[in-house]
Amino acid sequence: MIKYLKTSRLNIAYHSYGDNHKTTIILLHGWPDDPLTWSQVIPALVNANYHCITPYLRGCGFTEFLDLQTPRSGQLAALSQDIIEFIEGFNIGKVHLVGHDWGARIAYNIAALRPDLLHTLTALSVGYGTNNPKQNISFSQIQQYWYQWFFGTERGRETLMAERRDLIKYMWKLWCPNWHFSDAEFEETAKSFDHPDWVDITIDSYRNRWGFSDNDPEYELIHQKLMTSPKIDVPTTVLHGSADGATLPETSDNKEEFFLKDYQRFVIPEVGHFIQREAPQSVIEAVLNRVK
């Protein structure tokens, strides 16, 4: 059953699992994905006596803007503020936060901005400090980011609008060379990409990440703080697949200096970008080892 919580700009849709009186774990999906990405992880966390919440990010699935005039910003500062308000809206104190891909970027940002909201952080497939358009990346990573450069063009927008399912299925295969997902699994998640704001937010997010679109003035102070890569004062675990075809494992290596508390990083052999779908037991163990 879909539930909803209103923030200042959104009516955020989410799924809730387990006893809501238990300690809460919030799991944030990435792009191109939706909360179903956690379906193989959630049962074990609930069986371990945790309450799990999986929201739909802005522009995805059932989450809606409250005002038609609100800019459809994909800026990471905006997505991060959405989830800060979402956590505050439950009025349950600190939570454990788990994020994959965009969800990991959001989770790092929340840990940097509002450590008072978090017990722990578990991040999948993304390293910290990789949102700055001035960052140095290898030629190999430049190649893997082909889709981000493509989305900087109008041809990229048009292709995503007209052929989103074919393009995204192609990307899933590239990013996870050892994973053979079913058409049914893909189609169930791809329904979330039919959201009327999904393309606009996707395009703006990647253009903004590399400085090709304007920041939303509403989030400028947050954005400027995040560009300094503030150190994180939350116990953190990072998982990265060795066969990740989107963000190479090198992008999450050597990040210890940014973390003030216990920090661990594990590379999962033969696994691609969607660790929670490809190797859910690795994620379950990492989360439970971190939250206990």
**How far is the C-alpha of 134 from the C-alpha of 6, rounded, in Å?**
35
The pLDDT assigned to 40 comes to: 98
Ranges 41-45, 116-120, 130-134, 230-234: which has the least confidence:
130-134
The pLDDT assigned to 235 comes to: 98
Instruction: For residue 192, count CB atoms less than 10 angstroms from its CB and return exposed for 0-12, middle for 13-18, buried for 19 or more.
Output: buried
**Could you read off the pLDDT of 195-208 as tens digits, one per residue?**
999 999 999 999 99
pTM: 0.98
The pLDDT assigned to 47 comes to: 98
**Could you read off the pLDDT of 82-115 as tens digits, one per residue?**
999 999 999 999 999 999 999 999 999 999 999 9
**Could you read off the pLDDT of 123-135 as tens digits, one per residue?**
999 999 988 999 9
**Could you read off the pLDDT of 113-171 as tens digits, one per residue?**
999 999 999 999 999 998 899 999 999 999 999 999 999 999 999 999 999 999 999 99
- Asked if pLDDT for residue 260 goes beyond 90, the answer is yes
Confidence of residue 292 (pLDDT cuts 50, 70, 90): confident
**Could you read off the pLDDT of 15-36 as tens digits, one per residue?**
999 999 999 999 999 999 999 9
Q: Give the largest CA-CA distance in the chain.
A: 49
Residue 151 one-letter amino acid: F
**Tokens linked to 192:** 């979330």
